[in-house]
Amino acid sequence: MAKRLVFFWVFVCLSNPVLCQLDEFVYNGFKGVGNNISLNGVAEIENNGMLKLTNDTRRLIGHAFYPNPIKFKNTSDGRAFSFSTAFAFAIVPEYEKLGGHGLAFTISSTKELSGALPSQYLGLLNASDNGNFSNHVFAVEFDTVQDFEFGDINDNHVGIDINSLASNASVNAGYFINGNSTRQELNLKSGKTIQAWIDYDSAKSELNVTLSLSSVKPYFPILSFHVDLSLYFDETMYVGFSASTGLLASSHYIFGWSFKMNGQAQSLDLSSLPSISRPKKNNTAFTAGVSVSAAVLMIFAIGTVLYLIRKIKNTEEIEKWELDIGPHRFSYKELKQATRGFRDEELLGFGGFGRVYRGTIPNSNTQVAVKRISQESKQGLVAFVSEIASIGRLRHRNLVQLLGWCRRRGDLLIVYEFMTNGSLDKYIFDKPKSILTWEQRFKIIKGVASGLLYLHEEWEQTVIHRDVKAGNVLLDSDFNGRLGDFGLAKLYEHGENAITTRVAGTLGYLAPELTRTGKPTTCSDVFAFGALLLEVVCGRRPVEPKAWPEELVLVEWVWERWKEGAILEVVDPRLRGGYDEIEVVVVL
């Protein structure tokens, strides 16, 4: 049952606004709070009194705020008051080792936070207002996903955010035990009940964040930050919590909450709070199972050990999150057989990510392309999961279809449909095995444009490919163009501006502003597509080292010919004049 301490209003408050700031409330659970808590998004209060901000549904937001505004600044001098809060929370991810974004204790000028986005924005801000001084948003985030665009230190950190999701200060989650100065590591995704204390001392302009797995507050905070919040607070603000899910999801719970102005918030007794129910273990069955297993091992010890040694070499570890991530999961044995043991004779291509092999799936005789990601590649497990869970759901006739995947220890494999005629670059550069007609080239151009439009505007999210080039356009048996290789792709909500700190792509296809800002957009994809158009028409690479100096950079050479009124001189001479001049001019 929620227990709330009413405001202490005394006569002296009428004459001294500072002393008036003794506002205090305590929720020992949230059962029966009624209108004493304001919920938004998917946030709800469960029957046992737990406040559940989000569930295991992807890309959603949950807000919970104290319903009334609280005075945070002294009217006479504009200085922010001291405040203190304590709350107990837990984060239960959908998949044990992969976070589904996070939650934040929030002080905001509004409790609606309208326009805020889920995923890395934690339901606080969006791409257009992130970093604006006028936001008046202060938050302490408990983040379980590392977002490189915001400079996150890892996927298990506590951060102090002021008007932006790029933290002003952050630290790996941890805590101290009283009587011991050794820092203890803390996994925010463990599902354990964690108590957090956030204390702001106005006189010292100091903010401290303290964590613990117990009801007792440690002497040492895990994070301290010197800041004058007077610069960022309005006179009255709302206090509460915000949480969001992203491509993967987590359930974010608040079990209890206390808050106090100009004083120390009451620590929560974790034993008196509601908790997440967990299935009880059957110790009898466990004991019996262990006894039987021990007996079997004793009898067949030598044979079992030899068998296990041989078996472990080719075992496939299947974790809970892999059972329903989709699309189809292939066995490693199946793909090894399909590619004839990943023989060099089946190699279709290679790059920094690894190698691509041709294969034939046993029993079905289906031809596939198997992308085997190198263990040295920067594309790790999280990026691998993102690609198969998101790109695997794309469906368009001009995109290479992802058919399935496989994971065995360090091996990460993605299976695509096989494109009979290989990549476009094999037909337009150097000495191709055959010359594409203008009709074939124009059809390929229109196909890739259709696929790119789908990625940018027609799918449920905006997909920025980031590596549009001739080598990533695959040709099927009818020479239809299919855009492939989504290893660098980024997904964003529609209307959200992409942010990154690492320039990715291929030289000659990079938009000029991309190398300056490091910010990929649909426009940078369109620039790369423009370079592709010039390649297809001219039969040359964007940068041709063997060309005359004035013809070295393709786009500059074409532009000069355009200004001279001789644009048709850039058309691939191997076409021998067999093209539609109007179509060529339109493309150029």
Phi-psi map region of 365: left, alpha, beta (phi>0 left; psi -120 to 50 alpha)? left
- Of 172, 214, 219, whose CA–CA distance to 195 is shortest? 214
Question: Is 371 annotated to bind ligand?
Answer: yes
370 DSSP 8-state letter: E
Residue whose tokens read 């659970």: 29
554, 577 in Cβ contact below 8 A? no
Those residues whose C-beta lies under 8 Å from the C-beta of residue 504, and which sit 6 or more positions away, are 466, 467, 488, 520
The one catalytic residue among 23, 199, 467, 572? 467
Q: In this structure, are strands 44-45 and 490-492 parallel, antiparallel, or unpaired?
A: unpaired
> What CA–CA distance (Å, rounded) separates 352 from 46?
49
504-507-509-510 Cα dihedral, nearest 10 degrees: 50
Distance separating the N- and C-terminal Cα atoms of the chain:
71
- Residue 228: both structure tokens together: 């004058």
Q: Where in 221-275 does DSSP place strands (E)?
A: 223-226, 236-244, 250-261
- Cα Rg for the chain, rounded, in angstroms? 30
Determine how many CB atoms are found less than 10 A away from the CB of residue 458. 12
Cis peptide before 432 (omega within 30 of 0): no
Cross-strand pairs, 140? 105, 160
CA dihedral sign, ordered 15, 19, 21, 27 = negative
Phi-psi map region of 360: left, alpha, beta (phi>0 left; psi -120 to 50 alpha)? beta
360, 399 in Cβ contact below 8 A? no
- Of 66, 56, 102, 108, whose CA–CA distance to 196 is shortest? 102
> What CA–CA distance (Å, rounded) separates 405 from 416?
9
**425 noted as active-site residue:** no
> Which positions are annotated as active-site residues?
467
Q: Which residues are annotated as a binding site for ATP?
A: 371
